Amino acid sequence: MRILKEDCRGALPAPGRWRMPGEFEPHEGCLMIWPCRPGSWNYGAREAQEAFVRVAEAIGESERIYMLVSEAEREKASRALEGLIKSGRAVLLPIETDDAWARDVGPTVVVDAQGERAGIDWQFNAWGGDYDGLYREWSRDDAAAAAVCRALGLPVLEARPFVLEGGSIHSDGEGTLLVTEACLLSPGRNPSMTKAEIEETLKAWLGAKKVIWLPHGIYNDETNEHVDNVCAFVRPGEVVLAWTDDPSDPQHAMSQADLAVLEGERDAKGRPFIVHKLPIPSRPVCMTQKDVDGFVFEPGEDVREAGERLAASYVNFYISNGGIIFPQFGDPMDEEAARILGACFPERRPYPIDAMAIIKGGGNIHCITQQIPGQPRRM
């Protein structure tokens, strides 16, 4: 593993070299992590693993899957992904992690004008560390980004001690970043830094010229409201925003505030934003007692409760080279969300995925996937 000399620990990178691509740009593949943590995936993770396989199969139609897996789960993952592995569309990487949130613990891969790539290794502290982190031990998650870079032959940009998760940033590939104040200004991330200092750090590492600070994410999102659950780029200058017209829903005021920011801003190229309102499910997606009974929590781990509202959002989709992979919740709004996303991505095949097993783990399709930019491989 090579750490680039100009990017020493704690220092900012050489200005202007690196760029975080937009997720709609062609890319090499996708990083995922095989789920097995008993405190996240109930009843032995059986339904979660089935859902992860469905996501991997959809993504694998047009790009390669790199699946991190523990030694204990390797045989099970190999059987479940046998078809993808035999066809060369999936590769297992023997890397141990604490959970399965590839978006948040994997490297943020950036590119330069010559097409060279590097992986940014942010510090990870389980979404809040000792302040409000979701589990007590996260050292394997924290080491995952560097391990992935080593496995893929990518040099590392050492961004530590800056704390960041991949789901808390969204790029248009042309110099504009979306973030939320609720997450990036949380006391559990970088409490000694001002908002301006955090913004300058993001610009330096990700090649951004402008950061759009949305006030909120999705209601009751335990990540302190990651942006990838509330607002995402469809293409430069165009976003989808989680939305509800129900004034009694707590998400209503949060999305209204985000829309007000987007309507008053311009992107790094000076363009006003085209905003597509993407509805949230028509009824809250909540944890049942049966769901809760299937978890096994460790000491110090955030626990689930029956009746707990989950942060279900159709914005939490993945853009593959050939498709748009988006969640379905068994809700009447599923069909409308599919229609809107289909209109936003007419050139891509739609892959609706039953995501109930994933949302019960605390996340969604975007959370369990991380793009690996680079030249697309022949499938």
pLDDT per residue as tens digits for the range 182-213:
999 999 999 999 999 999 999 999 999 999 99
**Which residue do the tokens 């997720």 mark?**
23
The answer to whether 310 and 359 have CB atoms below 8 angstroms apart is yes
CA distance 166 to 227: 10
pTM: 0.96
- How far apart CA 368 and CA 285 sit, in angstroms, is 19
pLDDT over threshold 50, residue 5 = no
pLDDT tens digits, one per residue of 264-306 = 999 999 999 999 999 999 999 999 999 999 999 999 999 999 9
Q: What is the rounded distance in angstroms from the CA atom of residue 10 to the CA atom of residue 192?
A: 14
Q: How confident is the model at residue 352 (pLDDT cuts 50, 70, 90)?
A: very high
Residue 7 confidence class, pLDDT cut points 50, 70, 90: very low
- The two tokens of residue 212 are 């759009």
53-to-73, 343, 358 alpha-carbon distances in Å: 14, 26, 12
Instruction: Tell me the percentage of the chain whose pLDDT exceeds 90.
Output: 94
- Record the tokens describing residue 136, joined without a space: 């007590």
Catalytic residue among 36, 183, 231, 367: 367
Active site residue 367: yes
Q: Is 166 buried (19+), middle (13-18) or exposed (0-12) by CB count in 10 A?
A: buried
Q: What is the share, in percent, of the chain residues with pLDDT greater than 70?
A: 96
In the block, tokens 């949380």 appear at 186
User: What confidence score (pLDDT) does residue 3 get?
Assistant: 52
41/325 Cα distance (integer angstroms): 21
> What was the pLDDT predicted at 13?
74
Q: What is the pLDDT of residues 70-79, one digit of tens each?
A: 999 999 999 9
Grade residue 354 by pLDDT with cuts at 50, 70 and 90: very high
Of the pLDDT bands very low, low, confident and very high (cuts 50, 70, 90), residue 375 is: confident
Question: What are the tens digits of pLDDT across the range 141-189?
Answer: 999 999 999 999 999 999 999 999 999 999 999 999 999 999 999 999 9
When the pLDDT of each residue in the chain is averaged and rounded to a whole number, the result is 95
